[in-house]
């Protein structure tokens, strides 16, 4: 089907081309084509040959696309040469896929021929783009002498184009356009462009803000942890102190006030009382009143060394509040004649 | 929204109008529903319910909207006009647009042109002829130079130019589609996107091409805004030739100029 239609399509194409030489070729090719119809089927097994034909067709179509402008140029016969090449290939066409490629080529070639023919019809009036470009460049103020001074890599301009070249062209071309003048505020307005940059600035600002927010809670957590840890450490240190005094002299009780009071610092005294209360709460130390109703403190021994229940009394869950003021603190220091703190202050603080 | 519905219900009386107001009240995705023009009698009836100053006020808003929108030279679509400005006055749309066109004509010396009768989009063109060499009050956009080159190549190639041919031509002027241009930036985008959206150019794929190739044609804006005769005159000037030496182009330019002239004589 394709093959039958093909010669006529090509003939038409060549007629548009207007070269009689080509026409005769077409005629010849037609005859060849019909000759091969009769010998069809003899070389069916030549897969390699088929493949080669297909790839040659593809190359041909490809080269036609690539060299389009060259082929269209009225000054050469390249289009005829390409058609002749296709004729040679067509001699061996047997299968549908090859015929499809051939017809594809014909479509491309016909299209080219059409364009070339339309050029020929009024060759004198056709616009030579190269000349047009040259004239435009001249109008835009191209300085051809300075071509070496300014390196324009890749650009095909041979010379130096002034920076207002396009403005110059636009100003002259303006009267071809009946463009409505655009609306502007006399004192300016929002420029049409600003929004994107503004967003960019916001985006840049945001991330640090987020980080700062994120850092805040983690910092707080760490502080809490540190405080808790400090408390725990201090409690343990005081327990160690208490145990040491107890071991030094297990028989004599340790008076509570003498233990906690620091004669040099009221605030350290408060801290000591605070930390000692943890020892009592956790059952690591106990406070009992002696004959003078003064509190004594003693560590609770671990396993098996528990103080008899009756010594503490049945209500061992008593909670008591010790209040102290600077005045009382001073009185206590005088009364008990405290010279040194039993709990050494932390030096490193 | 509810207020709008209530408003349109009080305005309407006949069942047919009720149907129309319900479709226009919905989100206007359906283009066909959007462009059902109310009949003249419907417009008349709706107009009676509005004071002349209300309609004038709305028309003035549309004028302002179009002037601001025109800065980018992208056509104004009817759908956008209705959605952003006209809103509940959609029943008297034809009357509003008539007054808007009149204002542009009489006050601004501009002509409001409907470039797309199917989807209704409008552009503004200048009614006053530019005179060559006259001092220009507007700063010149260098893109107009680029546009001139593209349009003139298409025109000189009788209305159609291959994309490859266009880039070949522009390459000679130092413009490369894959390189940033110091004046135009992404030139390929300017030509195949910006000019196309402004409707100066049509960028149509060529059938049977793999990879797809495109043709450039004059867009509807170029057809009404750009003078072919003046393009030809400038091209001839550049070549130092008589415009008449391009017979085909000369005939086309002057036949279209006649039609332009006849339309402008109606002013």
Contacts of A83 (CB under 8 A, 6+ apart): A10, A13, A14, A22, A25, A109
Q: Tokens 């103020």, residue?
A: A141
Between B130, B174, B225, which is nearest A156 by CB? B174
Between B234, B245, B246, which is nearest A172 by CB? B234
On the question of pLDDT at B179 being above 70, the answer is yes
User: What is the average pLDDT score of chain B?
Assistant: 78
Q: What is the pLDDT of residues B139-160, one digit of tens each?
A: 678 888 999 999 999 998 888 8
Higher-confidence residue of B183 and B261: namely: B183
B141 touches chain A (CB under 8 A): yes
pLDDT band at B24 (very low <50, low <70, confident <90, very high): very low
Higher-confidence residue of B64 and A78: namely: B64
pLDDT, position A312 = 46
**Cis amide prior to B211 (ω within 30 degrees):** yes
- What's the whole-model pTM score? 0.53
On the question of pLDDT at A320 being above 60, the answer is yes
Burial class (CB in 10 A: 0-12, 13-18, 19+), A272: buried
pLDDT, position A42 = 53
**Alpha-carbon separation of residue A250 from A243, A273, A298, B149 (angstroms):** 9, 22, 9, 109
- For residue A88 the two structure tokens come to 């040679």
pLDDT, position B248 = 82
pLDDT band at A200 (very low <50, low <70, confident <90, very high): low
On the question of pLDDT at A306 being above 50, the answer is no
- For residue A262 the two structure tokens come to 């620091």
The stretch B149-177 carries a mean pLDDT of 88
| Cα–Cα distance measured from residue A43 to residue A23, given in angstroms and rounded to the nearest whole number | 30
Sheet containing B213-218, strands listed edge to edge, beginning at the edge strand earlier in sequence? B161-162, B213-218, B201-206
pLDDT, position B252 = 86
Q: What is the pLDDT of residues B81-101, one digit of tens each?
A: 888 888 888 888 888 899 999
The stretch A188-215 carries a mean pLDDT of 56
On the question of pLDDT at B29 being above 80, the answer is no
φ and ψ at A215, to 5 degrees?
-70, -40
B267 touches chain A (CB under 8 A): no
State which residue of chain A sits closest to B131, comparing Cα positions: A175
Higher-confidence residue of A248 and B132: namely: A248
- As separate numbers, helices (DSSP H) first and strands (DSSP E) second, chain A gives 13, 3
Chain A positions touching B150 (Cβ under 8 A) are: none
| Cα–Cα distance measured from residue A89 to residue A54, given in angstroms and rounded to the nearest whole number | 9
CATH number listed for the domain at residues B143-266: 1.10.10.1210
The stretch A9-34 carries a mean pLDDT of 44
Name the residue ranges covered by the structural domains of chain A.
45-123, 221-301+317-336
pLDDT band at A125 (very low <50, low <70, confident <90, very high): low
Mutation for testing the A interface, residue in B105, B172, B194 having most A CBs under 10 Å: B172
| Cα–Cα distance measured from residue B195 to residue B48, given in angstroms and rounded to the nearest whole number | 43
pLDDT, position B132 = 53
Pick among 1.10.10.1200, 1.20.1280.290, 3.40.50.150, 3.20.20.70: CATH of B39-125:
1.10.10.1200
Higher-confidence residue of A185 and A53: namely: A53
On the question of pLDDT at B11 being above 50, the answer is no
- Give the DSSP H or E segment for A91: none
pLDDT, position A206 = 53
Largest interatomic CA distance in chain B:
69
- Does the beta-carbon distance from B168 to A152 stay under 8 Å? no
- Does the beta-carbon distance from B144 to A68 stay under 8 Å? no
* Strand extents, DSSP E, chain A: 254-255, 285-289, 295-299
pLDDT, position A194 = 57
CATH topology assigned to domain A221-301+317-336 = Arc Repressor Mutant, subunit A (1.10.10)
Q: What is the pLDDT of residues B50-93, one digit of tens each?
A: 888 888 899 999 999 998 888 888 898 888 888 888 888 888 88
Chain B positions touching A182 (Cβ under 8 A) are: 70-71, 73, 138
pLDDT band at A239 (very low <50, low <70, confident <90, very high): confident
Do residues A116 and A17 make contact, with C-beta atoms less than 8 angstroms apart?
yes
pLDDT band at B26 (very low <50, low <70, confident <90, very high): very low
pLDDT, position B197 = 92
- Does the beta-carbon distance from A167 to B140 stay under 8 Å? yes
Percent of chain A with pLDDT over 70: 62
- For residue A132 the two structure tokens come to 């047009």
Percent of chain B with pLDDT over 70: 77
Question: What is the dihedral angle through the alpha carbons of A257, A262, A264, A270, rounded to the nearest 10 degrees?
Answer: -90
pLDDT, position A148 = 46
B140 touches chain A (CB under 8 A): yes
The stretch A130-134 carries a mean pLDDT of 86
On the question of pLDDT at B262 being above 60, the answer is no
Residue B115: count other Cβ atoms within 10 Å of its Cβ.
19
| Cα–Cα distance measured from residue A340 to residue A261, given in angstroms and rounded to the nearest whole number | 9
pLDDT band at A13 (very low <50, low <70, confident <90, very high): very low
Percent of chain A with pLDDT over 90: 0
pLDDT, position A64 = 84
Q: What is the pLDDT of residues B119-139, one digit of tens each?
A: 788 998 888 776 555 555 566
Q: What is the pLDDT of residues A270-296, one digit of tens each?
A: 888 888 888 888 888 888 888 888 888
pLDDT, position A223 = 58
- Does the beta-carbon distance from B156 to A127 stay under 8 Å? yes
On the question of pLDDT at B18 being above 80, the answer is no
The ipTM value here is: 0.73
- Does the beta-carbon distance from B110 to A136 stay under 8 Å? no
- Does the beta-carbon distance from B125 to A155 stay under 8 Å? no
On the question of pLDDT at B32 being above 70, the answer is no
| Cα–Cα distance measured from residue B176 to residue B168, given in angstroms and rounded to the nearest whole number | 9
């Amino acid at each position: 089907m394709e093959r039958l239609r093909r010669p006529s399509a090509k003939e038409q194409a060549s007629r548009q081309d207007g070269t009689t030489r080509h026409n005769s070729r077409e005629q010849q090719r037609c005859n060849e084509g019909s000759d091969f119809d009769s010998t069809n089927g003899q070389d069916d097994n030549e897969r390699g040959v088929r493949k080669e034909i297909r790839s040659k067709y593809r190359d041909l179509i490809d080269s036609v696309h690539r060299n389009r402008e060259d082929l269209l140029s009225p000054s050469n016969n390249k289009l005829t040469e390409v058609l002749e090449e296709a004729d040679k290939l067509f001699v061996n066409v047997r299968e549908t896929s090859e015929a499809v490629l051939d017809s594809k080529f014909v479509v491309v070639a016909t299209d080219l021929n059409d364009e070339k023919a339309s050029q020929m019809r009024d060759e004198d009036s056709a616009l030579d783009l190269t000349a047009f470009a040259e004239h435009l460049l001249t109008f835009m103020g191209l300085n051809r002498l300075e071509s070496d001074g300014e390196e324009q890599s890749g650009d095909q301009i041979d010379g130096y184009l002034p920076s207002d070249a396009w403005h110059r062209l636009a100003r002259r071309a303006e009267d071809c356009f009946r463009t409505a003048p655009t609306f502007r505020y006399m004192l300016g307005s929002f420029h049409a462009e600003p929004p994107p940059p503004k967003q960019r600035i916001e985006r840049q600002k945001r991330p640090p803000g987020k980080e700062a927010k994120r850092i805040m809670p983690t910092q707080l957590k760490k502080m809490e942890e540190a405080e808790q840890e400090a408390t725990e450490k201090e409690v343990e240190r005081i327990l160690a102190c208490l145990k040491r005094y107890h071991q030094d002299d297990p028989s004599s009780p340790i008076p509570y006030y003498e233990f906690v009071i620091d004669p040099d610092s009221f605030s350290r005294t408060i801290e000591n009382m605070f930390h000692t209360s943890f020892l009592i709460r956790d059952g690591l130390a106990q406070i009992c009143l002696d004959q003078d109703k003064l509190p004594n403190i003693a560590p609770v021994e671990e396993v098996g060394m528990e103080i008899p229940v009756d010594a503490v009394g049945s209500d061992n869950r008593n909670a008591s509040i010790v209040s102290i003021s600077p005045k009382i603190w001073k009185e206590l220091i005088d009364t008990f004649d405290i010279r040194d703190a039993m709990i050494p202050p932390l030096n490193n603080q | 929204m509810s207020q709008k519905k209530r408003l349109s219900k009080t305005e309407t009386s006949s069942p047919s109008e009720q149907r129309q107001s319900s479709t226009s009240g919905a989100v206007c995705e359906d283009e066909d529903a959007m462009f059902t023009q109310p009949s003249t009698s419907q417009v008349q009836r709706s107009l009676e319910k509005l004071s002349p100053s209300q309609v004038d006020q709305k028309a003035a808003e549309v004028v302002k909207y179009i002037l601001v929108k025109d800065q980018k030279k992208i056509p104004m679509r009817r759908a956008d006009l209705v959605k952003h400005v006209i809103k509940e006055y959609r029943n008297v749309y034809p009357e509003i647009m008539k007054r808007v066109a009149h204002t542009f004509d009489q006050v601004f010396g501009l002509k409001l042109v409907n470039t797309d009768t199917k989807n209704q989009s409008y552009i503004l063109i200048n009614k006053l002829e530019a005179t060559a060499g006259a001092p220009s009050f507007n700063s010149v956009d260098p893109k107009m130079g680029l546009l001139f080159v593209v349009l003139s190549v298409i025109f000189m190639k009788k209305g159609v130019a291959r994309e490859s041919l266009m880039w070949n031509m522009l390459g000679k002027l130092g413009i490369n589609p894959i390189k940033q241009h110091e004046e135009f930036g992404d030139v390929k985008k300017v030509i195949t996107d910006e000019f196309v959206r402004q409707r100066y150019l049509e960028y149509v794929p060529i059938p049977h091409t793999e990879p797809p190739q495109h043709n450039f044609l004059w867009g509807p804006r170029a057809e009404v805004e750009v003078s072919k005769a003046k393009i030809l005159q400038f091209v001839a000037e550049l070549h130092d030739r008589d415009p008449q030496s391009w017979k085909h182009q000369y005939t086309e330019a002057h036949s279209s100029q006649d039609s332009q002239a006849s339309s402008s004589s109606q002013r």
